[in-house]
Amino acid sequence: MPTPMWSRVLVWLCLPLAGAALLWGVLLLIDWLPFGGPLNLVRELPEPWDLVVGLGVGFVIGLILAGLVDAESLTVLISPTEVVLTRPGHRRAVPKGEIAVAFPDRDQLVLLGRTGQELAREPSHLPKKRLSQAFGSRGVAWAEQDPYLEAYRRWVPNLPEVSGAANAVFAARQKALNSGDDEDVRELREELGRLGFVVRDDKKKQYWRPVGS
């Protein structure tokens, strides 16, 4: 169940064109805007180089945005033995027999194990109805939300219920959340999973529960 190809093609076509058009529009209006900065340098280039450079810079910015969006294009393959979640540069295979339930958590797809441990969490923009049908028809339970939602508590430093090692990982992960280091956020989430904790984020705040809660 991949992200529709037409959707990915539209992203790669529309965002670069939109970026070029938007930047050129800003350059046309720059004399009436209270800011300029480096854009003034582009505007002062002789014609037609101001147009060429302006459109080129906007196009490149759009390409970068398209790449970021496409990096979250998820493909879900459900076989008789495993569930494989794939997106550009990342692949996770989970044995089907270990999955207790699958559910959407805002813009992510989550798979939980029999004791409530998190087996996978991947960005997903696939329609929930399609996911529900795909998992249900292949014998994997589907829930409309996290079945453990009421068990989460907000993390604050030095909680007595959390070990010193886990508190240190939570603290490091909070710094990564604040700085926007997505790779570190992911790796530290997995480390907390190995320590027996499940964590979900809400507006750069961490909420946790112990496995088996």
Model pLDDT for residues 87-116, shown as the tens digit of each residue: 877 889 999 999 999 999 988 999 999 999
In SS3 terms, the chain reads as CCCCHHHHHHHHHHHHHHHHHHHHHHHHHHHHCCCCCHHHHHHCCCCCHHHHHHHHHHHHHHHHHHHHHHCCCCEEEECCCEEEEEECCEEEEEEHHHEEEEEEECCEEEEEECCCCEEEEEECCCCHHHHHHHHHHCCCCECCCCCCHHHCEECCCCCCCCCHHHHHHHHHHHHHHHHCCHHHHHHHHHHHHHCCEEEEEECCEEEEEECCC
Task: Give per-residue pLDDT as tens, 156-171.
Answer: 999 999 999 999 999 9
Comparing 25 with 187, which gets the higher pLDDT? 187
- At residue 41, does pLDDT exceed 90? no
pLDDT band, residue 45 (cuts 50/70/90): low
Q: What token pair was written down for 18?
A: 């939109």
* Residue range 29-53: mean pLDDT, rounded: 54
Task: Give per-residue pLDDT as tens, 1-37.
Answer: 555 554 544 544 555 556 666 655 655 555 555 555 5
Alpha-carbon distances, residue 125 vs 17, 68, 69, 141, 167 (angstroms): 22, 13, 10, 20, 32
CA 189 to chain centroid, in Å, comes to 13
* HSE (side-chain half, CA atoms, 13 Å) at 187: 6
Single pTM value for the model: 0.68
Return the closest-CA partner of residue 165 out of 129, 192, 187.
192
Only one residue has tokens 């959707």, namely 7
Which residues fall within 8 angstroms of residue 30, CB to CB, at 6 or more apart? 36, 39, 40, 43
Calpha distance 98→167 (Å, rounded): 28
Calpha distance 96→92 (Å, rounded): 12
Question: Taking the alpha carbons of 86, 90, 95, 99 in that order, is the dihedral positive or negative?
Answer: negative
pLDDT band, residue 124 (cuts 50/70/90): confident
* HSE (side-chain half, CA atoms, 13 Å) at 149: 11
